[in-house]
A and B are shown apart, each in its own frame.
Chain A
Amino acid sequence: MDGVDTSITLTVNGREHRLRIDVRSSLLDVLREDLGLTGSKKGCDQGQCGACTVLLDGRRANACLALAVAQDGAEVTTVEGLADGDALSPLQRAFIERDAFQCGYCTPGQLCSATGMLEEAARGWPSAVTGDLTADPDLDETEIRERMSGNLCRCGAYEGIVAAVKEARA
């Protein structure tokens, strides 16, 4: 379509892609429709559920709110890129072991979000429930719950998610 298509380069899960995309496309739709990486889910397309969470230049982000054209040159890690070959990441293993999902639709977003969240916590970032803002937060259950609240799970697997995050961090 005239004037609508544009070209971008994305590095997704370590692999560089030169893509011709509709300028209106979200990063989520480019991943799902153009690259066939359907692990990132579309639960609301409004940034209100977190199912589309990916790591964008190393930080967790909602791919549905990111215009793909604005991410030209970015590095993206999706759920498909969390494992090291056949070896699942500690979080992925813990999610299975702790039954941290039921339908599995929010799971890729939960996993990417938890991966990014652990990194944020390791850097000492505070959250809304952190008492002393000048100290490094202790990532207890209350902290994990607050920090993972951007990922809704209608099956209600929250207890398993918190347990899995704790286990993977240990």
Chain B
Amino acid sequence: MRPFAYERAATAEEALARCDEETRYLGGGTNLVDLMRLGVERPARLVDVTRLPHDRIEERSSGALRIGAAVRNSDLTAHPAVRRHHPMLVQAVLSGASGQIRNQATVGGNLLQRTRCSYFQDITKPCNKREPGTGCPAIDGEHHNLAILGHSESCVATHPSDMAVALAALDATVLTRGRGGERAIPLADFYRLPGSHPERDTTLEPGELVTAVEVPPLAMPSRYRKVRERASFAFALVSIAAAADVRDGVVRDCRIALGGVAHRPWRARRAEDHLRGRPLTRENLAGAADQELAAAHPLRDNAYKLRLARNLIVRTLLELGERA
């Protein structure tokens, strides 16, 4: 690990003022510290943003929740209003990592964690995300848990966050503060597809600080389901955050987002559009899934994700319908 200067910021202004190209903001550190030890990240300066006044969850009069970026993952899942209104968000966060890590990790850090692609994490190998222009060995190499949607010739990585998948389904907004002032970035615009610049995960400007996430109210039952290679404490193969308003057997409204399939949480809008107004049947759900997955381009060893994603859409929505 390269030696670094460590500073604690008390305010967002202070954090911004100290941030340069070689600076990283430090939240819980559960991903950043690992990446520093692996040599993937070599910041000259860490600005600790955990003491910023971003550690509260506020209920707005609109019914929206404003979740501070420094809120610990476990505090998010313990919060009564979040538990009451957003089961899929709670379940998503609880299905990620371990109890220990959730106590340390912050909401902002969770959003900004990096892919767990093997090649990205191994500095002795090429990786366009880590070192642009060096190539992507995953395309012909080991990629059984990499992307099927939205990937490019330069990168097939997936985004590892569970929480972000739920936030995508919730139409959340990421609130930031940068040199140009404050921004509210819809989650749909927050994460990027890799294209020819896989080194950029998000649309954040250099130095821009995530201060909070705003979650609008959602009056539908919801749930998060994650499939992985052991029963707990593993990253998703495919996961789904889903919500549905089903009345008289008809889908009035729904939200579907997939995890583990793309460089960003994958909001399945085509599937949603297909379902709205249709009876909640296995057939319609399968049709909706197929609409969404028609754009998929599985790699040599990850075509199973198509079927897995399809089955999760069908099953999860049916289960939500049964509850209605």
**A residues at B contact (CB < 8 Å):** 1, 3-4, 6, 23-24, 26, 45-47, 50, 53, 56, 59-62, 65-67, 69-70, 113, 116-117, 120, 123-128, 130, 133-134, 145-147, 149-152
Query: Which residues does chain B contribute within 8 Å of A59, judged by CB atoms?
Result: 74, 103
Q: A50 is contacted by which of B36, B91, B100, B231 (Cβ under 8 Å)?
A: B100
A150 near B100 (CB under 8 angstroms)? yes
A70 near B48 (CB under 8 angstroms)? yes
Query: Which residues does chain A contribute within 8 Å of B80, judged by CB atoms?
Result: 134
Give chain B's interface residue range (CB within 8 Å of chain A): 35 or more
Asked if B232 is at the interface of the complex by the 8 Å CB criterion, the answer is: yes
B101 near A65 (CB under 8 angstroms)? yes
Query: Which residues does chain A contribute within 8 Å of B98, judged by CB atoms?
Result: 47, 50, 62, 149-151
A47 near B101 (CB under 8 angstroms)? yes
**B residues at A contact (CB < 8 Å):** 1, 3-6, 8, 26, 28-30, 33-34, 36-37, 46, 48, 50, 74, 77-78, 80, 83-84, 87, 90-91, 94-95, 97-101, 103-104, 231-233
Most buried by B among A66, A70, A125, A147: A70
A61 near B100 (CB under 8 angstroms)? yes
A125 near B74 (CB under 8 angstroms)? yes
The 6 closest A-B pairs by CB, nearest first: A150-B98, A149-B232, A128-B94, A59-B103, A133-B83, A4-B3
- Once the chains are docked, how many angstroms separate the CA of A88 from the CA of B26? 37
Query: Which residues does chain B contribute within 8 Å of A147, judged by CB atoms?
Result: 99
Query: Which residues does chain A contribute within 8 Å of B99, judged by CB atoms?
Result: 60, 113, 116-117, 120, 127, 147, 150
A23 near B29 (CB under 8 angstroms)? no
CB distance from B61 to the nearest CB of A (A): 22
Q: A47 is contacted by which of B3, B30, B36, B95 (Cβ under 8 Å)?
A: B30
